[in-house]
Structure 1
């Protein structure tokens, strides 16, 4: 599988930041470093939300690229959606990462990530689990990234409370 790169539009500040180092779009896992390094400029240019969504949806494991507190601060600056989500949401993660921010409204997508993680990390402590939140609170919804420009993973960026988590697998 070819490495994903950011889709830098050179007409935007975010596009220029992505291309500034080498003259071509950076790799997707470089996006968090660039975002955190330039968030003030992006906020002043009115591009923080778009850059944050781009970074979050393209980066593999954004929750490991920066800590949850840092991500929550950026989502707070960019403006959280607080969009009501009907029905449950799911997440595939080891128990220590169960309260992470990446969730999906499509159980099949969560199962796909669960199975992938079991194969990639067969000896991971706490083994990968499939987690569910039955009634997501709209006040905890930071973003809804459910279109083709966000990898079609029906992603919900959600800040869960530990007592909401139900382990399915």
Structure 2
């Protein structure tokens, strides 16, 4: 839960909380997870998709300083290789809910750009290459977004180098 307040000299009249996230720029009124209790805005439950810039804006267009909020440790996890993947090999990224072993329908992203939706929660790259290297994340519409995970890709091992390793 996060609580935010829009007050100027103890007065909140005419001020409204605004936000700009990766996916939306909107006034906080009418957002399902946000409730307005007087001058306090409460985001409960808070999800990684709530990460973004928040500020207060008056009816006349004045605005406060921007506050950046980053939410980590959500319930959606992206399972990706911890070690570099060799070019030409297959790799599967798995998006799952932290407390449930079942698969999720998930949107997959690379470097912040949408790749595709997978109904099983598994995205397979049949033959990775260097251009597949980058930051990956996944998002489930109702459960939130995973933290980003870096996937490294290395070039194929040469036969000469492979033979030297056997002599050692």
Per the normalisation by structure 2, the TM-score is 0.25
Which protein is bigger by CA-based radius of gyration? 2
Question: Higher strand proportion, which one?
Answer: 2
Per the normalisation by structure 1, the TM-score is 0.25
Question: Higher helix proportion, which one?
Answer: 1
